[in-house]
Amino acid sequence: MTGYNLCFSSETGKSTIVWTAGANSHISPRVIEEQVIRSAQLLVIDGFTFGYGENGPATIEHAANLATRYKVPYVLTLASVEKVESYRDLFKNLIPNAYLVAGNLEQAAALAGLSKGAELEEVVRLLDNDVPGLLITLGEKGAWAKMGGAKYEVQPTPVDAIDTTGGGDAFLAGFLVAMQRGLPPARALSVGNLVAAEVVRHKGARLPYEVQVSGLIDAALMHDGPNPNYRALPQTS
């Protein structure tokens, strides 16, 4: 155990997460097991780690360098606007070799050096040439992605949301599992959409124990036929 994840919910259904870092405050490059990364299919680097003690940035850079050395694709999550603004140069150092950079629109705007209310088009214009793979969740407006030079968008799955806490993380998890199973990006976006829609139907940042996550993802992966919620975007030079 490296810490505790506490979720506070109000009577009106508002939730927030307080992460108590615990042992993560003592993280350092020496605790990274090289063989574990070498044998991994995918490495997810949480941008929050930049703020874990004085060795957080060095730990992230070491893990990313190992992944690059062993040709293990890594995903960099933007974590929060505050983290991106505090460590923007460090984030940008890791972007060129990243398989995917993932965050919400406000976090992506911060990475691009824009204000909180920036439009998607402006954010994408500034990041397009620097970020090989990019996933931006848009809340009630769905999500946008660029993979392999192609661009996609997905509209949200209609759902009566009770609590949106954890929805973005669930979207990314579903998307990555689908990509690892060989689905094209457009279908993977659809899977992420469906998993996130299930998470926001429940109070708190995680699904109830009675909801089988593996079964949920399998059901999303087995979704047949064209999905009207996503479309590939026209290619631009």
Q: What pLDDT does residue 47 have?
A: 92
Q: What pLDDT does residue 162 have?
A: 78
Please list the pLDDT of the chain residue by residue as tens digits (237 residues). 345 555 566 666 565 555 555 667 778 899 899 999 999 999 999 998 898 888 999 999 999 999 999 999 999 999 899 999 999 999 999 999 999 999 999 999 999 999 989 999 999 999 998 999 999 999 888 899 999 889 998 887 777 877 777 788 888 988 998 888 888 888 888 888 888 888 887 776 666 677 676 776 777 667 543 344 444 444 433
Positive or negative torsion for Cα 180, 186, 189, 194: negative
Phi, psi of 226 (to 5 degrees): -65, 140
Q: What pLDDT does residue 224 have?
A: 42
Q: What pLDDT does residue 194 have?
A: 83
Question: Is residue 60 helix, strand or coil?
Answer: helix
State how far the Cα of 34 lies from the Cα of 49, in Å rounded to an integer. Answer: 18
Burial bucket for residue 231 (CB in 10 Å: 0-12, 13-18, 19+): middle
Q: What pLDDT does residue 6 have?
A: 54
Q: What pLDDT does residue 231 have?
A: 42
CATH code: domain 27-137 is 3.40.1190.20
Q: What pLDDT does residue 9 have?
A: 60
Say if CB 166 and CB 202 are below 8 A apart. Answer: no
Beta-strand relationship, 143-147 and 150-154: antiparallel
State how far the Cα of 112 lies from the Cα of 99, in Å rounded to an integer. Answer: 18
20 CB contacts (<8 Å, ≥6 apart)?
3, 4, 5, 6
Q: What pLDDT does residue 161 have?
A: 79
State how far the Cα of 94 lies from the Cα of 91, in Å rounded to an integer. Answer: 5
> Domain map of the chain by residue range?
27-137, 162-237
pTM: 0.81
Question: Is residue 11 helix, strand or coil?
Answer: coil
What is 118-173 written as a DSSP string?
--HHHHHHHHTTT-SSEEEE-GGG-EEEEETTEEEEEPPPP---S--TTHHHHHHH
State how far the Cα of 162 lies from the Cα of 154, in Å rounded to an integer. Answer: 21
Q: Cα Rg for the chain, rounded, in angstroms?
A: 18
Q: What pLDDT does residue 115 have?
A: 92
Q: What pLDDT does residue 64 have?
A: 96
